Amino acid sequence: MTVQETLEKAVSKVLNEKVTIIGCSRTDTGVHANQFCFNVKTESSIRCIGFCRGVNGELPDDISILGCEDVPLDFHARFDCKGKEYIYKIHCSESKDPFGADLAFHYRRKFNVEAARQAAKHLVGTHDFASFCADCTNVSTTVRTIYSLEIENSGDSVIVLVKGDGFLYNMIRIITGTLLDISEGRIAPDDIPEILAARDRLKAGRTAMAHGLYLNKIFY
């Protein structure tokens, strides 16, 4: 079962016509979204507020329509997107968080925040991120721009926050996994420029688990 399938069934029922939604991105199984945008064309004259209330009434508890607005007919949720922001949640403790099961990565070590921040500086800007892509066969270019990469720490919680113009397949999870390897001393923070230049996935760190990742914001 997918989020798209569930949404299409609910939207089709409310609009009384079979529809296909166009999402702003695709994500791996287990990844979450605080905000996700999609567009749909319809012959229905339903008002936006009616759409929100109607579709929410058909959705399960783990999916919610946050808003709706009319857009030009040529609007495309994916291709008109100007940027995205992701967060990756890490729970750093020997003890698991019973309220965060499948909502944050349980990391049983102390996270070296300063080393991760030093490495993050090398990733900000426009670079070829081929070393941070699990499968680059379906993209015309592996060059992307990261506007900001911040690591926030409060108690046992570490959040990696990344904002950019677009991201490659598994790019955020590989960046986070590389930061984890840096925290453990497997990779040095100043090795990042060499890893980028190599354009080789094997040079970067591990791929972090899917359930710690959230699509946080979409920019149009």
Percent of the chain with pLDDT over 90: 92
Helix residue spans in 127-216 (DSSP H): 171-183, 192-198
Q: Coil, strand, or helix at residue 12?
A: helix
Confidence of residue 28 (pLDDT cuts 50, 70, 90): confident
- Single pTM value for the model: 0.92
- The rounded distance, in Å, linking the Cα atoms of 103 and 96 is 12
Active-site residues: which are they?
A: 28
180 close to 49: Cβ distance less than 8 angstroms: no
Give the model confidence (pLDDT) of 131-180 as tens digits. Answer: 999 988 888 999 999 999 999 999 999 999 999 999 999 999 999 999 99
Q: How many helices (H) and strands (E) does the chain have?
A: 5, 9
Any residues with CB less than 8 A from the CB of 66 and at least 6 apart, and which?
35
Q: What do you get for the CA distance between the two ends of the chain, in Å?
A: 29
Confidence of residue 2 (pLDDT cuts 50, 70, 90): confident
